[in-house]
Chain A
Amino acid sequence: MPRRKVLFVCHNHPKVRPGGAEEYAHELHRALRESPGWEPTFLARSGPPHSRSRRPHEDVHVSPVDCVDDEYFLYTDGYDFDWLYGTMRHSKELYTRHLRRFLLALRPDVVHFQHTLFIGYDAIREVRRTLPDVPIVYTLHEFLPICRNKGQMVRTMDGELCAEETPRRCSECFPEHSPQTFFLRKRFIQAQLGLVDLFVAPSRMLVERYVEWGVPRDRIVLEDYGRRALAVPAPDASRPGARDRLGFFGQMSPYKGIDVLLEAFRRHGRSPAPHARLWVHGANLDLQEHDFRDTVEQLLADTGEHVTFAGPYEPHEVGALMAAVDWVVVPSVWWENSPLVIQEAFANGRPVICSDIGGMAEKVAEGVNGLHFRTGDPDSLGETIGRAVGNEELWESLRGGIPPVHAMSDHVAVLTGAYERLVRERRGEPWPERVAALSS
């Protein structure tokens, strides 16, 4: 029997710019290549301003990634992405002409959206229009459909965490848009996402947020990211009894809380514990706003020899880098979903010190395989680091509590099982509007 075809649609290719969701999506694509029943194709959005290369051929918006036969770029050059509605502002031809042409040529059996950022929710509509019987799967990575503030659910005026979106509150965050506009936005996005047959959410918190927002519970499945098994986990190279090496891995953005971590070191006379050292493996500091960059640079200067800024790293280097630390710190000040860095730390046998909210608190069990601190509070973080550093007994206990990592092979089995079920019984109809107010 010929293999069925699944098309992954992603907002970026990791070759163009690194990022957690796209790394995961591409890894999933590579794992599916080896699956006996499913043949994957990876369609990654490309084009300015986020990538350096422009589309190479006249009137061609979909073309192969560096000659590979199952990976394509979807060039959005010349289209104007609207951040508010998540759509192409002035023209729909990207969907009705270029994407349609590709869909009709490829004829996938399942379309699995990993992201629609920079592409637009209309791409879902286009798939449904052109391939009416093909199931649509959509993985939720953050809160972009719900929250205009880059999907972070953090309020713009003070950085406070937001637990509830309403048109009124959204308009408070973005006064240039009326509550009515935010209502239009929500209804537009819901109408497009209403065509999705199955949502995949990697954390329970995401499942609940999206159900509250209007996704029917029976259309969403909790399924964590899968990751490839490591040949050899990171060796334990620490000096016995010290356990004083900490590591930060990830984007140097305000949402990731790097400033909270550095501040914790600064306040405690450059280090929360006498010997504690921090290695910052951070990417994209250059993309941050000036004020934040200045803050981080000042903090790095103030914390002196206790903190080493090592810069970005390649995905394959992470094991070696984690081998050189005892603790991995995840100080994000937004909710996070299922942070890949936590998976990475666990795969390498490293307990995690993290903020006590959202996906971090869900994936790291306090006192079992890691420690929580009060989100955004450098003193709480400092105190927690002080408690952890030098505590061999605690470290061993937490290391012992680390669960097995969700293997990519298991993940693929879950997803392909879902694809097969959906192909058999595609529902297709949009979800009925959840307007409780009207049922009275």
Chain B
Amino acid sequence: MIAASRPVAATSVHGPDEPAGDLLAGPVALGEAEELAVVGVPPDTLDRNRPRLRVEVGDIELIADGPGAREALTDLDSFVRERLAGLDAANRAQLLTALAPLTGWEGLPPALSDGLHAVREALRERRPLAVVDQRAERAVEVEALHRIADDEFYVRGWLWEQSRSVVELTAVSPEGERVELIGRAHRHPRPDVAERFCAGGHEPLGFVCHFRTAAPSRRRDGWVVELANAAGRGVETAAALSSTDPASAREGIVADAVASAGDTEALREHHVRPALTRLQELRRDAVAVDEVESHGTVPESPEVSVIVPLFERIDLLEHQLVHFADDPELWECEIVYVLDSPEERDHLSRFGGELARLYGLPFRTATLTANGGVALARNLGASLASGRRLLFLDSDVLPARPGWVGELSRSLDASPNVGAVAPKLLYEDEAVQHAGVELVRAVDAPEWSAELRMKGVHGRLPAANVGGRVPAVTGACMMTDAALYRELAGMSWIYVQGDYEDADFCMRLARTGRQCLYAPEVALYHLEGQSYPSEARAANRRYNRWLFSRSWSDVIEEMGR
């Protein structure tokens, strides 16, 4: 008899077309130890006298029930070896296929994963391990494997098959689930690999694939990727996740998007974008306002809410407050600092309190639950704001003189149909950092690029001081209407690491018939570039530009007419 209690509804252990019990007779349940799986195994795959199998995952105990219960095995390995390993290959494969979805449980316990992995190791048909050798007839190698979500993965590698007749490229999860990649993977030339096997440099030996598993998989190692040719010969290679956190997964995938040769459009569209968008989506879901702290009494019903994302550089708070404190208009504003690096929470709380005592200017700080990037920080800051107007300000922007908030607000008032206004931003050497954003054809790709107009010329150059409508403006200092911002759902979170979401927002404005305004009569300093952009940052920009162009080329072309 089965020792079972709560059935787990989410788990389907039989095929949709097969009646329950044909292949595996349910139920799957949690026992007292809350980690008890009970599955029924079809009679024809086991000794008829032992038609049932109990898997107690907490202690990894597998018991055959029924008439043979007394011979119950308490050791998973020996049970598998003695009762299952002797089955023929087809039955073993069938059993594996049936067992893998067990991980579909919510709160998949690591022990179950481990148990299934052990079963898989005992049951699966092994192929020879791939050896990278000039004379090898076939080989496969995984260079990167990222977990996007529990049931979503991204793999990059290469394969070699002398006969050029690859029919299977299969990812096998540690728990035994098999996912066929061959029809789905993006294939691209790998001249470096081709050289090893004396193949042609144009041959698509590289592969990249974003794929899903039916059931979640959470083990870091234990992946296998198999290669098979038309004649049924094959090799396999072991793989483990190459990143342990979403940020490094993101970085690895973005790097692939810009580094790969061949048809990068297809690669980005079918593999990179779905993977990155999912990562960004999970990030969005994970980030919320954790805690809000008020320093002083924030003005009631303010006209303008100033929202400043803070990331790591807590010291910049002081450098803004010292100037804000001397500007009477800022005392009328609601000032919200959004801490996007929660590990600085205590530091900000203490330092913010001391600065509030010294400067007297009231402000609030909102700490996020996790790092979300600038778009999410702005959106979450906006969700706390009560002003009619939102003024997004980066923490490295300093006012040049008092009065700038009112000037921006008035220029917005005076311009019908304008959705956002931004001032002139200067570097510390009086060079222009921002004089509006223009959308131009990129020189190195068929894409639209958002470029800072006049960047680098002296701030007094007349051409940099012609105000008016521009295609887009920066988010480093942008004023917009709060209701409109909410109506447009704020800034997009799909871009990687704070770039292009401001231009994207301006496109949302354009799509709803609104324009952006550059107001050179107002100037602030933007100390951008305190460190030179890293390679990773340059790669993000490339990907973001592609994503932006993909999303908005129709609107941009319409604007140009």
Given contacts A180-B529, A437-B430, contact A187 B398 (CB under 8 A): yes
Tally A residues with Cβ within 8 Å of B.
33
Tell me the smallest distance from the CB of B104 to a CB of chain A, in Å: 51
Tell me the smallest distance from the CB of B467 to a CB of chain A, in Å: 12
Complex partner residue of A122 from B358, B360, B398, B424, CB under 8 angstroms: B358
Tell me the smallest distance from the CB of B357 to a CB of chain A, in Å: 4
Query: Which residues in A have their C-beta under 8 angstroms from that of B323?
Result: 187, 191
Q: Check if B527 sits within 8 Å of A438, measured CB to CB.
A: no
**B-binding segment of A90-98, A343-351, A393-401:** A90-98
Q: Check if B530 sits within 8 Å of A192, measured CB to CB.
A: no
Q: Check if A92 sits within 8 Å of B428, measured CB to CB.
A: no
Offer 10 A-B interface pairs, CB within 8 angstroms, sorted by A.
A92-B357, A96-B358, A125-B322, A179-B428, A183-B428, A187-B525, A188-B319, A191-B323, A194-B326, A435-B401
Q: Check if A440 sits within 8 Å of B530, measured CB to CB.
A: no
Query: Which residues in B have their C-beta under 8 angstroms from that of A195?
Result: 326
Binary contact track A156-170/B, C-beta < 8 Å → 1, others 0: 000000000011100
Q: Check if A178 sits within 8 Å of B523, measured CB to CB.
A: no
A126 contacts chain B at the CB level, 8 A cutoff:
yes
Q: Check if A180 sits within 8 Å of B527, measured CB to CB.
A: yes
Tell me the smallest distance from the CB of A341 to a CB of chain B, in Å: 37
Given contacts A184-B319, A438-B400, contact A92 B429 (CB under 8 A): no
Query: Which residues in A have their C-beta under 8 angstroms from that of B318?
Result: 188
Q: Which residues, 501 to 529 on B, are CB-close (under 8 Å) to A?
A: 523, 525, 527, 529
A129 contacts chain B at the CB level, 8 A cutoff:
yes
Tell me the smallest distance from the CB of B311 to a CB of chain A, in Å: 16
Query: Which residues in B have their C-beta under 8 angstroms from that of A63?
Result: none
Q: Check if B428 sits within 8 Å of A125, measured CB to CB.
A: no
Q: How far is the CA of A129 from the CA of B359 in the complex (A)?
A: 7
Q: Check if B459 sits within 8 Å of A437, measured CB to CB.
A: yes
Which B residue's beta carbon lies closest to that of A180? Answer: B527
A269 contacts chain B at the CB level, 8 A cutoff:
no
Given contacts A166-B429, A183-B525, A440-B465, contact A435 B400 (CB under 8 A): yes
Query: Which residues in B have their C-beta under 8 angstroms from that of A95?
Result: 358
Given contacts A92-B355, A191-B326, A194-B326, contact A181 B400 (CB under 8 A): no
B472 contacts chain A at the CB level, 8 A cutoff:
no
Q: How far is the CA of A227 from the CA of B492 in the complex (A)?
A: 68
Q: Check if B358 sits within 8 Å of A192, measured CB to CB.
A: no
Given contacts A187-B323, A438-B400, contact A180 B428 (CB under 8 A): yes
Query: Which residues in A have their C-beta under 8 angstroms from that of B428?
Result: 167, 179-180, 182-183
Given contacts A178-B530, A437-B523, A438-B459, contact A126 B429 (CB under 8 A): no
Tell me the smallest distance from the CB of A169 to a CB of chain B, in Å: 11
B462 contacts chain A at the CB level, 8 A cutoff:
yes
Query: Which residues in B have their C-beta under 8 angstroms from that of A168?
Result: 429
For the A-B complex with A180-B428, A188-B322 known, give 5 more contacts whose Cβ atoms are closer than 8 Å: A167-B429, A179-B429, A188-B319, A437-B426, A440-B462
Residues of chain A at the chain B interface (Cβ within 8 Å): 90-93, 95-96, 122, 125-126, 129, 166-168, 178-184, 187-188, 191-192, 194-195, 430, 432-433, 435, 437-438, 440
Residues of chain B at the chain A interface (Cβ within 8 Å): 318-319, 322-323, 325-326, 351, 354-355, 357-360, 396, 398, 400-402, 424, 426-430, 458-460, 462, 465, 523, 525, 527, 529-530
Which A residue's beta carbon lies closest to that of B355? Answer: A92
Tell me the smallest distance from the CB of B394 to a CB of chain A, in Å: 13
Q: How far is the CA of A180 from the CA of B428 in the complex (A)?
A: 6
Q: Check if B357 sits within 8 Å of A96, measured CB to CB.
A: yes
Tell me the smallest distance from the CB of A296 to a CB of chain B, in Å: 39
Tell me the smallest distance from the CB of A431 to a CB of chain B, in Å: 9
Query: Which residues in B have their C-beta under 8 angstroms from that of A182?
Result: 428
Tell me the smallest distance from the CB of A98 to a CB of chain B, in Å: 12
Q: Check if A433 sits within 8 Å of B527, measured CB to CB.
A: no
Which A residue's beta carbon lies closest to that of B328? Answer: A429
Which B residue's beta carbon lies closest to that of A194? Answer: B326
Tell me the smallest distance from the CB of A437 to a CB of chain B, in Å: 5
Tell me the smallest distance from the CB of B411 to a CB of chain A, in Å: 15
Q: How far is the CA of A304 from the CA of B530 in the complex (A)?
A: 54
Tell me the smallest distance from the CB of A90 to a CB of chain B, in Å: 8
Q: Check if B527 sits within 8 Å of A129, measured CB to CB.
A: no
Q: Check if A430 sits within 8 Å of B358, measured CB to CB.
A: no
Q: Check if A180 sits within 8 Å of B530, measured CB to CB.
A: yes
Q: How far is the CA of A168 from the CA of B325 in the complex (A)?
A: 27
Query: Which residues in B have their C-beta under 8 angstroms from that of A178?
Result: 530
Query: Which residues in A have their C-beta under 8 angstroms from that of B355?
Result: 92
Q: Check if A129 sits within 8 Å of B360, measured CB to CB.
A: yes
Query: Which residues in A have their C-beta under 8 angstroms from that of B523?
Result: 435, 437-438
Q: Check if B354 sits within 8 Å of A96, measured CB to CB.
A: yes
Q: How far is the CA of A184 from the CA of B398 in the complex (A)?
A: 9
Which A residue's beta carbon lies closest to that of B399? Answer: A433
Query: Which residues in B have their C-beta under 8 angstroms from that of A438?
Result: 400-401, 424, 426, 459, 523
Q: How far is the CA of A437 from the CA of B459 in the complex (A)?
A: 6
Query: Which residues in A have their C-beta under 8 angstroms from that of B359?
Result: 125, 129
Which A residue's beta carbon lies closest to that of B461? Answer: A440
Query: Which residues in B have their C-beta under 8 angstroms from that of A167?
Result: 428-429
Q: Which 8 A-B pairs have the closest CB atoms?
A: A183-B428, A433-B401, A92-B354, A180-B527, A96-B357, A438-B523, A191-B322, A430-B326
Query: Which residues in B have their C-beta under 8 angstroms from that of A194?
Result: 326
From A95, A96, A167, A192, name the one whose CB has the most chain B CB atoms within 10 angstroms. Answer: A96
Q: How far is the CA of A191 from the CA of B322 in the complex (A)?
A: 6
Q: Check if B527 sits within 8 Å of A183, measured CB to CB.
A: yes
Q: How far is the CA of A91 from the CA of B460 in the complex (A)?
A: 39
Query: Which residues in A have their C-beta under 8 angstroms from that of B529?
Result: 180
Query: Which residues in A have their C-beta under 8 angstroms from that of B396?
Result: 180
Query: Which residues in B have their C-beta under 8 angstroms from that of A179?
Result: 428-429
Q: How far is the CA of A188 from the CA of B428 in the complex (A)?
A: 13
From A95, A178, A191, name the one whose CB has the most chain B CB atoms within 10 angstroms. Answer: A191
Q: How far is the CA of A167 from the CA of B400 in the complex (A)?
A: 16
Which B residue's beta carbon lies closest to that of A92? Answer: B354
Query: Which residues in B have their C-beta under 8 angstroms from that of A180?
Result: 396, 427-428, 527, 529-530
Query: Which residues in A have their C-beta under 8 angstroms from that of B527?
Result: 180, 183-184
Tell me the smallest distance from the CB of A328 to a CB of chain B, in Å: 43
Given contacts A167-B428, A180-B529, contact A437 B460 (CB under 8 A): yes
Which B residue's beta carbon lies closest to that of A183? Answer: B428
Q: Check if A187 sits within 8 Å of B360, measured CB to CB.
A: no
Q: How far is the CA of A438 from the CA of B461 in the complex (A)?
A: 11
Q: How far is the CA of A182 from the CA of B427 in the complex (A)?
A: 12
Q: How far is the CA of A129 from the CA of B458 in the complex (A)?
A: 37
Query: Which residues in B have their C-beta under 8 angstroms from that of A93?
Result: 354
Tell me the smallest distance from the CB of B348 to a CB of chain A, in Å: 13
Complex partner residue of B358 from A126, A188, A440, CB under 8 angstroms: A126
Given contacts A188-B319, A435-B400, contact A92 B326 (CB under 8 A): no
Q: Check if B530 sits within 8 Å of A181, measured CB to CB.
A: yes
Query: Which residues in A have their C-beta under 8 angstroms from that of B326?
Result: 191, 194-195, 430
